[in-house]
């Protein structure tokens, strides 16, 4: 079921694009905000937002860990280009998560949260 959803969503993202980062608003971080980087561990090691956790979307790690996440908490999700974060956000929404901000890229996440990129 999720694999069919991912395939359909990936096709949709190619057709309509990932959106513009110019419409993004800054997020007020709370002590409960969880930042998720859905890139590969190698990409994460090259640089990530301070305090982010790495849950690789394409390896299946993200879906495996999703049941361990609290749907009531606020989340920020990002990747390299916005494709994977968009897929992750749609999976989260379908799983009952409601407080999700998709910042698409590492740079957008850092700029809009005011957090540092750790290299």
CA distance 57 to 79: 9
DSSP, residue by residue, 40-84: -HHHHHH-EETT-EE--TTTTHHHHHGGGS-TTS-EEEEESSSHH
- Quick check: is 79 catalytic? yes
For residue 39, the 8-state DSSP code is: S
- Give the three-class secondary structure for 19: coil
Catalytic-labelled residue, pool 55, 57, 76, 79: 79
Catalogue the active-site residues. 79
């Amino acid at each position: 079921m999720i694999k069919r959803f991912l395939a359909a969503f990936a096709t949709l993202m190619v057709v309509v694009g990932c959106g513009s980062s110019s419409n993004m608003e800054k997020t007020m971080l709370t002590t409960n905000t969880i930042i998720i980087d859905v890139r590969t561990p190698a990409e994460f090691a090259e640089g990530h937002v301070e305090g982010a956790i790495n849950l690789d979307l394409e390896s299946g790690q993200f879906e495996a860990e999703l049941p361990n996440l609290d749907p009531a908490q606020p989340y920020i999700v990002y990747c390299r280009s916005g494709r994977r974060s968009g897929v992750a956000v749609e999976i989260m929404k379908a799983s009952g998560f409601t407080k999700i901000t998709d910042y698409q890229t590492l740079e957008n996440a850092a700029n809009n949260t005011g957090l540092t990129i750790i290299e």
